[in-house]
Structure 1
Amino acid sequence: MSFSNDVRKEICSSVNDKDRRFACLYGMILFCRILTHERICFQSESSTSAELFRSLFHAVFHVELSESEHIRKNGIVLHTYEITGDTVEAVFQKYRFSEIERSIDSEIIATNSLGVFTAGVFLACGSVNDPSKEYHLEFSCPEEGLAKQLLMLLNDIGVNAKTTLRRGQNIVYIKGSESIEDTLTFIGAPQCTMDLMNTKIYKDIRNKANRIANCDAANIDKVVKTAMKQIEDIKLIDRAVGLESLSDELREVAQLRLENIDMSLQEIGENLSTPISRSGVNHRFKKLAKMADEIRIGGVKYEE
């Protein structure tokens, strides 16, 4: 089951009184595929949205609608309700639809639930991605004017929404996770909001763990690479002049490194006969590195 359908189901469970049914159906009809004086056509790939539309229409207009189904090439079922004749006129009168263009009636929204109206819009033309993959919610609006009005409505409630034109469709979309959370709560899907927030927390923790693991791996690689260079220097010094020629303090760190490639500088310092700090160990290895470099440039002759 998709996250979008989870949102639709939660919305449906919240549309439970006369005013909310009226407002939700208003949003569904206003943003449906076809809305003319001759014909109203509501279509949805969601059986949840289609069933709610039939139920709300019967509750508001006392008319039982017949559904037709069309199976697309991709196997998805398209649910369709066609409204014609006198019923169309009744819809136009009750919702005061304009004969010229579709527009949101501020008076209807003011006397009913704005959130439930927007929920109806979502059920008619909205979708939201699985938050574990991407933060994206959008409305595919049937007309440019409606898209602009919906954008203003969402911006007015503090949601950062934008518009774009995709394959001739006017899209109002939301990208930020917080704005999507606000929108889902606003349209009556608080449980889905919590699911999204939990998913975001999980993703943040997982990403942080990955960053730590990557950092740890990088640090391990760095320690090993440094240790290998130190061993190379020590072996060069041993071949050239012998480790016995070193001072006691340099010979001791050299022997510890040869015997413990995976030991950190701090651990080497702690295991010396007279323990010293990490910086003290590092200072001794710098002395050994300087000696090895002098040997490499010919400062000391030795047999391979």
Structure 2
Amino acid sequence: MSFSGRVREEICSSINDKDKKFACLYGMLLFCRDLTPERICFQTESTNSSENFGRLMKSIFKRELKCQEKMRKNGSIMYTYDINDVVFINNVFSAYHISTGTRTINTDIIATSSLGVFTAGVFLACGSVNDPSKEYHLEFACPEESIAGELMTLLRDIGVTAKIVLRRGQYIVYVKDSESIEDTLTFIGASQCTLEIMNVKIYKDMRNKVNRIANCDNANIDKVVNAAMKQIEDILLIDRTVGLDSLSAELREAAELRLENSGMSLQEIGDNLSVPISRSGVNHRFQKLKKIAEEIRSGGEK
């Protein structure tokens, strides 16, 4: 089952009293495909949304509705409730105070505690959310521009950052921020799916942290190796030209230890000298060796 499917399943399982059923069906009706005095058409590819719509219509209006199923070219099934009984539609419009003009959200007819359930109904009618392991994206494909704006305002009232874009004739209210998606899912009653997103975020953050540490370690290793190779190059030049015996005992010991141990860090070299010294002390000796090598390259020594 897709992540959107799990959200719908969790939502539907929580609609268990009269007020919630009334509010949820209102959201599903207000954002369905067609809503006119002559026709109500609710369409979905979700089995959960389809069954929930039929169940709520029967519970609230005592009307058993027939659902039509049609196989689409992509292999999915389109579930359709097509209502043309104008008397019944008038009863629905009257119960929800739906005008014959434009669709608008009338929060006065919804119990304050059921506003989230109304939004859950909107999600069941036209919402979807991507798998959080791939992308953070939640959207509502709204039938009209005005009601899309009202939905965006509703979401912003609960602190959710939402925007609108026109896509293939539909007004899409979308949310990209992961925290806003979590807030939306919690608001509509899908708290378990919210926890899934949080777990995915924790996993992604840990993976990114491990990668950063690994990249940092690799960079440090590269720096140590490159520095050691340059030190060895300087020491070999000195050995070929003036010989290591020309160096002071301290420099010669450091040079020989480096030639024998190319993978040692400066601290490790310092610890293995006959008289151990600090990392900065070892670095100081190699700087002297570097200066001698540079003088040889410039012709200062023969």
What is the TM-score when the length of structure 2 is the normalising length?
0.97
> Counterparts of 1:59 and 1:11 in 2: how far apart (Å)?
17
Shift of 1:110: 4.2
Q: Name 2:276's counterpart in structure 1.
A: 275
Change (3 A) 1:281 1:215: same
Q: Name 1:91's counterpart in structure 2.
A: 92
> Counterparts of 2:108 and 2:158 in 1: how far apart (Å)?
17
Q: Report SS of the residue matched to 1:43.
A: strand
Shift of 1:231: 0.7
Shift of 1:87: 2.1
Q: Name 2:240's counterpart in structure 1.
A: 239
> Counterparts of 1:59 and 1:167 in 2: how far apart (Å)?
35
Q: Name 2:122's counterpart in structure 1.
A: 121
Q: Name 1:19's counterpart in structure 2.
A: 19
Q: Name 2:262's counterpart in structure 1.
A: 261
> Counterparts of 1:152 and 1:53 in 2: how far apart (Å)?
25
Q: After superposition, what is the alpha-carbon deviation per residue over 1:249-301, rounded to whole angstroms, capped at 9, x for unaligned?
A: 11111111111111111111111111111111111111111111111111123
Q: Name 1:166's counterpart in structure 2.
A: 167
Aligned length: 301
* Aligned AA (1:94): A
Q: Name 2:204's counterpart in structure 1.
A: 203
Change (3 A) 1:74 1:282: same
> Counterparts of 1:139 and 1:59 in 2: how far apart (Å)?
26
Q: Name 1:136's counterpart in structure 2.
A: 137
* Aligned AA (1:199): V
Q: After superposition, what is the alpha-carbon deviation per residue over 1:84-122, rounded to whole angstroms, capped at 9, x for unaligned?
A: 112212211111111010000121134560000000001
Q: Name 2:106's counterpart in structure 1.
A: 105
Contact 1:23 1:112 in 2 (8 A): no
Q: Name 1:32's counterpart in structure 2.
A: 32
Change (3 A) 1:111 1:176: closer
Contact 1:140 1:170 in 2 (8 A): yes
* Aligned AA (1:247): S
Shift of 1:203: 0.5
Shift of 1:243: 0.9
> Counterparts of 1:14 and 1:110 in 2: how far apart (Å)?
16
* Aligned AA (1:117): F
- Is 1:61 the counterpart of 2:58? The answer is no
Percent of aligned positions that are identical: 70
Q: After superposition, what is the alpha-carbon deviation per residue over 1:165-187, rounded to whole angstroms, capped at 9, x for unaligned?
A: 12221111111111111111100
> Counterparts of 2:231 and 2:73 in 1: how far apart (Å)?
66
Q: Report SS of the residue matched to 1:188.
A: coil
Q: Name 2:5's counterpart in structure 1.
A: 5
Change (3 A) 1:88 1:268: same
Contact 2:12 2:52 in 1 (8 A): yes
Contact 2:224 2:265 in 1 (8 A): yes
* Aligned AA (1:196): I
* Aligned AA (2:8): R
Change (3 A) 1:52 1:249: same
Change (3 A) 1:217 1:125: same
* Aligned AA (2:110): I
Change (3 A) 1:88 1:112: farther
Q: After superposition, what is the alpha-carbon deviation per residue over 1:227-259, rounded to whole angstroms, capped at 9, x for unaligned?
A: 111111110111011111111111111111111
* Aligned AA (1:13): S
Contact 1:253 1:284 in 2 (8 A): yes
- Structure 1 moving runs of 4+ over 4 Å: none
